[in-house]
Amino acid sequence: MPKLLKFLLLVVLLNVARYVLGAPLEMVVIFKPLFGVMSANSSYFNTDFKAFDWVTSFFYNFMMWLTAEWVFVLLAPVLEGNWYVKSLKVYALMALFFMSVSCIYMNHYTHPKTFYFWNLVDAAMVFPLVGLVNGFLYPRLMDHRRVANAAAST
C-alpha cells in the first residue's frame, strides 16, 4: 500500500479510536456539563445537528487529527524515546496548541466561558489517548520496524 494511503488509513484509525475510546471517558466526565452549557445557551449553539452538520463535524475532526499526525511524522525523527514517548510529546504539543486557540476564542466571544473550560478538559483527556493509540499504530502501520532494522545493519 502506498505510504500516503497508509498515512490516511492511520488518521482514519486515530479518528475511530478518538470516538470509540474517548467517548466513554467523555460520557462520564464531559458530556453532562458541556451539553448542559450548550442547552442553557441554545441561541449560541447548534444542538440540532442535521446530516451536513455531522459530516462537516467529522471532517473538521479528521483534519485536526491529520494535522497532529502530520506534525508527529515531521518531529518523530528528531525526538528521543520509544514510539509512545515520541507520540505523547507531539500530541501534548498539539493539545497545547488546541487549548491555546480555544482560549483565544474564549476571550473573544461572549458565550459562556464554561463551554471552553469543558473543551479544555476534553482535550486534556483525548489528546493523550489518541497519542497513545498513535504510539501503538504508527510503527506497525508505517513499517518502521523494517526501516529501523535496515538502519541498524548499516
Q: What is the predicted pLDDT for the residue at 105?
A: 86
Residue 154 has pLDDT above 50, yes or no: no
* Alpha-carbon gap, residue 100 to 110, rounded angstroms: 17
Provide mean pLDDT across the span 46-55: 87
Q: Which helix (H) or strand (E) holds 61?
A: helix 51-75
Among candidate residues 127, 148, 147, 122, the one with its CA nearest the CA of residue 72: 127
Please give the pLDDT value at position 38.
87
pLDDT (tens digit per residue) in 119-147 = 999 999 999 999 999 999 999 999 766 54
Q: Using an 8 Å Cβ cutoff, are 133 and 17 in contact?
A: yes
Single-letter residue type at 7: F
pLDDT of residue 14: 98
